[in-house]
Structure 1
Amino acid sequence: MDMIEIDGSQGGGQLLRSALSLSLCTGIGFTVQGIRAMRRRPGLMRQHLTAVTAAARVGNARVEGATLGATTLRFEPGEVQAGDYHFAIGSAGSATLVLQTLLPALWQAPAPSRIRVEGGTHNPLAPSADFLDRCYLPALARLGVQAQLQLQRHGFFPAGGGELELEVQPCTALSACAFEQRGPLQAMEASVLVSGLAAGIGQRELDVLGRRLGVDTHPRHLQVVRPALGPGNVAAVTVRHGAHVELFDGHGERGLSAEQVGMRLADAVQAYLQGEACVGEHLSDQLLLPMALAGGGSFSTGQISAHLHSNARLIEKFLPVAFDWQPEGAHWRVNVLQ
């Protein structure tokens, strides 16, 4: 079997998850050394280990080194099988990142699949369930991917306990797309989740967003999660343009006031609106893999993040594509080339 060697110290968990996705899609195995070597706690954590074991099960893979804290891993994929899968992280680790790891392989499978993952659904350092539902999956739909996400239970850091269910249909061929023009602004919508905390915290966040962005601050945009499995607070703003949707969110944390959460979120939204780029920072690196599998495409984005750069270089190891990015005024244009 062809094997690719990866230096895991050049990225975090995303590098490993991308390698798993690419391995399942291409049938090429890999070894990775120094997994998360530059992190405060190096090696595989629970959410990374769940992604590895889930990928191994979906792809009938042989794996060496799949243990907590491991810094070396060998992954030899077999044949991907559609099916009904259930995985539990066992912590507040991100369920959305596990879903994103498996999704590309399963849309290439010959039959529909359903995946249920238990863990965190709204984590500060991962795309939220709302981001997947309102931003990521609609972008994939333009490429031809049909997938539907259901939030069964909310799970916040550090308690976890959430559950997501994803159904994905086979996709025989992806379409190369251009995400370069977002079109005219159509609407902005704010929403706030509060779990195990006073509802007034969420209303204060809505009030800040109303003053800064002009969004509706009616209490119907505030959802109190019951039963509360643990404390949690997330404020989100969905920005709908004619040709693209982006979602920005901010997480409450100890020592940070509701007003500060709202102000930081409003700053991020306004920075996007004042620019001309179509794709936000977080979606930009997540689009690279599906666009590479499509064999082409382009998008405009406000900056070239470290995640985007490392992800692009990894994808080029597995697929016969190259990525090129060039500045265009105040933003960048990213192209997928064959």
Structure 2
Amino acid sequence: MKQDVIELDGAIGGGQVLRSALSLSMVTGRPFRIERIRAKRSRPGLLRQHLTAVMAAAQVCGARTQGAELGSQALSFEPGPIRGGEYRFAIGTAGSCTLVLQTLLPALLRAPQASRVWISGGTHNPLAPPTDFLTRSWLPLMRRMGAEIDLELLRHGFVPAGGGEIEVTVQPSKLSALHVCDRGSALSQKAFALTAGLASDIARRELDRVARRLDVRPAAMNAISLDPDCGPGNVLLLEYAFEHVTEVFSAFGQASLRAEAVADVAINQADAWLRSGAAVAEHLADQLLLPMALAGSGSFTTPGMTEHLHSNIAVIERFLPVSIACLEEGADQLRIEVSTRDQ
């Protein structure tokens, strides 16, 4: 029996609307059509990274597509059965490997056999979570939900050169409920400044700024010099490990920003989250919502509503029989509760 096509307005958000729709379509078998893709962005339509996600999703489930081309602002996607196995996807730019991966993972967890996936492109992109965020923050929580996923960073890839690569293995797994409403006891704080093909004093200046503004021990700060062929590139990572959650904040070097200003970006993000008392910051909130919805239950606290979170809720509720409640708990804390909706 042919299922009704879900109609989506891509103008309610950015690429997250498309990626969530692809994930949910593959998992539910429900076709969709999306129009006005990224309509409010400076470069609307499908960029290379989004097109790679579409073509990768189509390959994983044998989907039929219309409009899958660069710059397209409308796409139809009709999924077939999910297939595990080995896949290689090349973005061809510094577009985010992590976002392409996160589009595919919900489906690969439900594949009939194990999968191994290689994705090349940008591993450290200022418009997406870096690979370190996935390995240290997101994947540990996914594993607590029952997901059997391993990720290895084979080569760093920065904007604009790209050229990075990740390798991921996925075992078929059933997701269970997860509740992350408080952080628990503080365990550790760390800072990492990575540079590739740039002057070594950039990392030192970033870490000096961290030392001045945050309570991070010198032994917990590391300057890491990568192969110059991976660059030019620079990222500062701040890691906060708590009993129930680990958060990673990042800021990327730019030609127009002093090293101290780069450090301030990550420091300000971390400081706002720490003061809020919420369990997860905005990026982790975006990326926990869909797995919790697929599990049928879950909850977390986050500092507040964002465009990504709002549009993600709208897309998820179109595909799945779940209700997502947003409850204010003071000025700087929002509780998100996912539950199965009566049919």
TM range (shorter): over 0.9
Query: What does 1:68-83 correspond to in 2, within 5 Å?
Result: 68-83=70-85
The 8 Å contact of residues 190 and 216 in structure 1, kept in 2 or not, is answered as: no
Paired position in structure 2 for 1:264? 265
In structure 2, C-alpha distance between the alignment counterparts of 1:109 and 1:307, rounded to whole Å:
27
Structure 2 letter corresponding to 1:52: V
State the 1:307 CA deviation.
Answer: 0.6
In structure 1, C-alpha distance between the alignment counterparts of 2:151 and 2:143, rounded to whole Å:
13
The 8 Å contact of residues 190 and 221 in structure 2, kept in 1 or not, is answered as: no
Paired position in structure 2 for 1:295? 296
In structure 2, C-alpha distance between the alignment counterparts of 1:325 and 1:319, rounded to whole Å:
17
State the 1:214 CA deviation.
Answer: 2.5
Paired position in structure 1 for 2:14? 12
1:157-211 superposed Cα distances (whole Å, 9 cap, x missing partner): 111000011111111x221111101101110011111011101101110111122
How well do the aligned residues superpose, as a CA RMSD in angstroms?
Answer: 1.2
Paired position in structure 2 for 1:88? 90
For this pair of structures, how many residues does the alignment match?
A: 337
Paired position in structure 2 for 1:214? 215
In structure 2, C-alpha distance between the alignment counterparts of 1:298 and 1:214, rounded to whole Å:
30
In structure 2, C-alpha distance between the alignment counterparts of 1:182 and 1:35, rounded to whole Å:
36
**Aligned pair partner of 1:60 in 54, 59, 62:** 62
Residue 124 of structure 1 aligns to a residue in which SS? Answer: coil
The 8 Å contact of residues 207 and 217 in structure 1, kept in 2 or not, is answered as: no
In structure 2, C-alpha distance between the alignment counterparts of 1:121 and 1:218, rounded to whole Å:
26
State the 1:33 CA deviation.
Answer: 0.8
TM-score, normalised by the number of residues in structure 2: 0.96
The gaps in structure 2 that reach 5 residues or longer are none
State the 1:90 CA deviation.
Answer: 0.5
The 8 Å contact of residues 149 and 166 in structure 1, kept in 2 or not, is answered as: yes
TM-score, normalised by the number of residues in structure 1: 0.97
State the 1:269 CA deviation.
Answer: 1.3
Residue 221 of structure 1 aligns to a residue in which SS? Answer: strand
State the 1:219 CA deviation.
Answer: 9.8
The 8 Å contact of residues 203 and 217 in structure 1, kept in 2 or not, is answered as: no
The 8 Å contact of residues 195 and 231 in structure 1, kept in 2 or not, is answered as: yes
In structure 2, C-alpha distance between the alignment counterparts of 1:51 and 1:325, rounded to whole Å:
29
The 8 Å contact of residues 155 and 162 in structure 1, kept in 2 or not, is answered as: yes
In structure 2, C-alpha distance between the alignment counterparts of 1:252 and 1:199, rounded to whole Å:
13
**Aligned pair partner of 1:166 in 161, 165, 168:** 168
Residue identity over aligned pairs, in percent, reads: 52
In structure 2, C-alpha distance between the alignment counterparts of 1:49 and 1:161, rounded to whole Å:
17
The 8 Å contact of residues 191 and 220 in structure 2, kept in 1 or not, is answered as: no
In structure 2, C-alpha distance between the alignment counterparts of 1:300 and 1:36, rounded to whole Å:
28
Paired position in structure 2 for 1:30? 32
Structure 1 letter corresponding to 2:188: A
The gaps in structure 1 that reach 5 residues or longer are none
In structure 2, C-alpha distance between the alignment counterparts of 1:311 and 1:264, rounded to whole Å:
25
Residue 187 of structure 2 aligns to a residue in which SS? Answer: strand
In structure 1, C-alpha distance between the alignment counterparts of 2:263 and 2:92, rounded to whole Å:
31
Paired position in structure 2 for 1:157? 159
**Aligned pair partner of 1:127 in 115, 126, 129:** 129
Structure 2 letter corresponding to 1:98: V
Pairing 1:114–2:110 present: no
State the 1:316 CA deviation.
Answer: 0.3
In structure 2, C-alpha distance between the alignment counterparts of 1:294 and 1:311, rounded to whole Å:
16
